[in-house]
Amino acid sequence: MAEVSKLARKRITVTGGAGFLGSHVVEDLERLGCRQIFVPRSRDYDLRRADAVARMYRDHRPEIVIHLAAVVGGIGANRENPGRFFYDNLMMGTEMVEQARLSGVEKFVAIGTVCAYPKFTPVPFREEDLWNGYPEETNAPYGLAKKMLLVQTQAYHEQYGFNGIYLLPVNLYGPRDSFDPAKSHVIPALIKKCVDAIELGESKIEVWGTGVASREFLYVADCARAIVLATEHYDRPEPVNLGAGREIKIRDLVTMIARLTGFHGEIVWDSSKPDGQPRRCLDVSRAEREFDFRATTEFEAGLRRTIDWYVATRASVARDPEPIALARTSIR
C-alpha cells in the first residue's frame, strides 16, 4: 500500500492558486490526496490589507500556507510599474506572514524570485550570494520586495519559532503561462511573436536586447513538484534555489523557438532595449540534498509542450463565441 502524504489531511491555502504556477501546485497537492485546499481570489480578499488577510485566515483556518500570489511581469512591465510591483508584493508578503503568525499557521511556504539575486552574481548562483550586491535595475523593486519575505520568515523563526521556508524559483515556462504582451516573460513572448508572424505572413520579428544575456528556465510542472516536496519535507530557514541547473543564451533560445514554431524569417535585435541581468544559472544542489528535487523535463521537450498548448488554446479561443472569457480562464 502506498504511503499517504502527511499533507493529505491538512487544510492548505494556496494564494495565486488559480494562476500559472499555482494551478500546477494545486494539481500536485490533489494528486497527493489533499482535499482541503483553498484558493483565495482577489475579488474576495485583498491580500495587501491586514484586515482582509486576517479575515481569510479566520474563514478558512489553514494549517499550511503556500504563498504564490505576486504582481509580476517581464522587463517591460517591471520598467513601467516599479512602484506598484514593489508596494503590492511587499505588502502582500508582509501581511500574509504576520497574519499567519497571529493565526497559528503550522507552516508558511514563501515563494521568492531569482530577481532577488545581485546583478553580477557569480555563476552558478549560490544561496549564500543573495546579499552580495544590488539586483539588476529593471526588476530590482520587485526582487527586493520578494526578498523581504526571506528577511521576515527568518526574523520570525528566530523570535517566534515560526516555521517559514523560502524558495527561489528561476524563470519558469510551460502550459498556462501568460501570453499577454503587456506582462509576459521571454519564452511566451517569443512564442507569440513567432506564431503571430507565421499567421500574418510576416517576414521578420523584433526581439529586445542583444541576445548575449543568458537565462535558466525551469518547466512549471517541475517547479510545482519542487514546491510540494519542500512543503512536505523541508523545515529550515535557509533559502533554497529551484532550477534546472543549466543556462541558454537568449540568442540561442530565439533560434530554438523559431525552429520549433516553424518561423523561418529574419530575427531583428533591438539593442536599444535592455538585456536585463547578464547571466542567470542556479546552483541547485541544496534542493537535491534537502528534499531530493531534481528537474526532469528536457528543455526542448518542455518548449514543444508549451508551444502545442498555446497553439491549441488559440484555436479553441477562435472557435468560441465568447473568446475573451475563455482566454481569461485558459491562460490565468
Residue 46 covered by a domain: yes
pLDDT at 40: 97
CATH number of the domain at 203, please: 3.40.50.720
Residue 5 covered by a domain: no
Grid cell locating 255: 533560434
Neighbours of 274 (CB within 10 A): 17
- How many helices and strands, by DSSP H and E, does the chain display? 11, 12
User: With contact defined as beta carbons under 8 Å apart, do 281 and 248 qualify?
Assistant: no
Instruction: Name the packing angle between helices 250-261 and 299-319 (round to 10°).
Output: 50
User: With contact defined as beta carbons under 8 Å apart, do 198 and 265 qualify?
Assistant: no
- Say whether pTM exceeds 0.95: no
pLDDT at 159: 98
Residue 257 covered by a domain: yes
Question: Structural domain tally of the chain?
Answer: 1
Q: How many angstroms separate the CA atoms of 85 and 145, rounded?
A: 8
Give the pLDDT of the chain (332 residues) as one tens digit per residue.
356 789 999 999 999 999 999 999 999 999 999 999 999 999 999 999 999 999 999 999 999 999 999 988 777 788 899 999 999 999 999 999 999 999 999 999 999 999 999 999 999 999 999 999 999 998 999 999 999 999 999 999 999 999 999 999 999 999 999 998 877 889 999 999 999 999 999 999 999 899 999 999 999 999 999 999 999 999 999 999 999 999 999 999 999 999 999 999 999 999 998 888 899 999 999 999 999 999 999 999 999 999 999 999 987 655 544 333 222 222 22
Q: How many angstroms separate the CA atoms of 93 and 100, rounded?
A: 11
- 142 catalytic, yes or no? yes
- For cell 500559472, name the residue: 20
pLDDT at 10: 98
Short-list 90, 101, 107, 99, CA closest to 145 = 90
pLDDT at 321: 40
Residue 23 covered by a domain: yes
Q: Phi and psi at residue 37, in whole multiples of 5°?
A: -110, 130
Q: Which domain holds residue 167?
A: 12-331
Write down the H helix ranges in the chain.
20-31, 50-60, 75-80, 82-103, 140-160, 186-200, 220-233, 250-261, 285-291, 299-319, 323-331
What does the angle CA 52 – CA 55 – CA 60 come to, to the nearest 5 degrees? 125
- DSSP notation for 250-268: HHHHHHHHHHHHT--SEEE
Short-list 72, 67, 20, CA closest to 45 = 67
pLDDT at 3: 63
SS3 227: helix
Residue 264 covered by a domain: yes
Q: How many angstroms separate the CA atoms of 321 and 319, rounded?
A: 7
User: With contact defined as beta carbons under 8 Å apart, do 36 and 85 qualify?
Assistant: no
Catalytic one of 45, 117, 142, 234: 142
Residue 226 covered by a domain: yes
Residue 320 covered by a domain: yes
| Residue 284 CA to its chain's centroid (Å) | 16
Torsion sign, CA atoms 189, 193, 194, 200: positive
Residue 1 covered by a domain: no
Q: How far is CA 31 from CA 27, 34, 110, 243, in A?
A: 6, 7, 22, 22
